[in-house]
Amino acid sequence: MTGFSMSEQKKAFRGYRATYFKWDCSEDGRIGVITFSRPKNKNALNIPVITELTQLFDELSQANDVRAVIITGDSGDFCSGGDLFEVVEPLTKMGAAELLDFTRMMGKLVRVMRQAPQVIIAAIEGACAGGGAAIALAADLRVGSPNARTAYLFNQIGLSGADMGACGLLPRIIGQGRAMELLMTGRAMTAEEGLAWGFFNAVYEAEELVEQARVLARRFADGPWFAHTMTKSLVNQEWTMSLEEILESEAKSQAICLATGDFQRAFTAFANKEKPDFKGC
């Protein structure tokens, strides 16, 4: 289970200030929007962006006012991966210990995203490559625009496709054969392929993309948020469980949900043919 507990006091995030990307949580505080904002290099990642993004998701694990998070990029691109001169070039000068620290740092970002209780939606337009494509994988849902091009380019610079969880996550989403092709060739997956293969949950025109992501996020934010948190946690945990372990884990998690006020309120509302008011506890 995640560290989330109904009885814990959580932090408020409406006033959070980001430095290296845009953070907007103004719409009643329930939906946070992260926007990569380095348009001159197609929103490439650098160490400050990675560090602050990891910190934000780590802190979001202690927030129950934010119930869904959208990640997107401005100026027509999602994220083109690690900046060539700010990230990739310094790696050529590092020793073995420093390199392992770096790769573990990148993995930590994926870990905190998967462990965050919020539903994370990636809204992808244009370039989505390398580390940016790995961040898209770490999201729970993905929506794209017709011009989205998703590429795992690690092998183009002599690296394996096994980076930031890509070899574990991508086959589970699009299948092993398709994942092997993308990871081994580095070619870009089109939006049409991404939709057909299950990478994208939906594709919208670019001008509608973020708004449609907000509609989806609103559905989760106003819904049974604690139950969504439990579902996300179990989906992540059950990859390596036996059937017996899965059944026991789900029995325990569902018993917790059955004890919540949300369940009682939902039952009463449905019995009275009313809309339930979920409070996350």
Model pLDDT for residues 39-81, shown as the tens digit of each residue: 999 999 999 999 999 999 999 988 878 999 999 999 999 999 9
Asked if residues 133 and 246 have their Cβ atoms less than 8 Å apart, the reply is no
Q: Six-digit token pair at 66? A: 């934010």
Query: Does residue 11 lie within any of the structural domains?
Result: no
Asked if residues 62 and 11 have their Cβ atoms less than 8 Å apart, the reply is yes
262 and 133 assigned to the same domain: no
Which of 221, 243, 258 terminates a domain? The answer is 221
CA atoms of 3 and 61, how far apart (whole Å): 8
99 and 231 assigned to the same domain: no
118 and 82 assigned to the same domain: yes
Tell me the DSSP string of 84-151. Answer: IIIIIHHHTT--HHHHHHHHHHHHHHHHHHHHSSSEEEEEE-SEEETHHHHHHHHSSEEEE-TT-EEE
Task: Report the predicted TM-score, pTM, of the whole model to 2 decimal places.
Answer: 0.91
126 and 55 assigned to the same domain: yes
Which CATH number is 192's domain given? 3.90.226.10
Phi, psi of 13 (to 5 degrees): -115, 5
| pLDDT 10s digits, 181-233 | 999 999 999 999 999 999 999 999 999 999 999 999 999 999 998 999 999 99
Calculate what percentage of the chain has a pLDDT beyond 90: 68
Q: Which residues span the domain enclosing 261?
A: 225-271
Count of domains forming the chain = 2
Residue with tokens 């990675």: 50
133 and 201 assigned to the same domain: yes
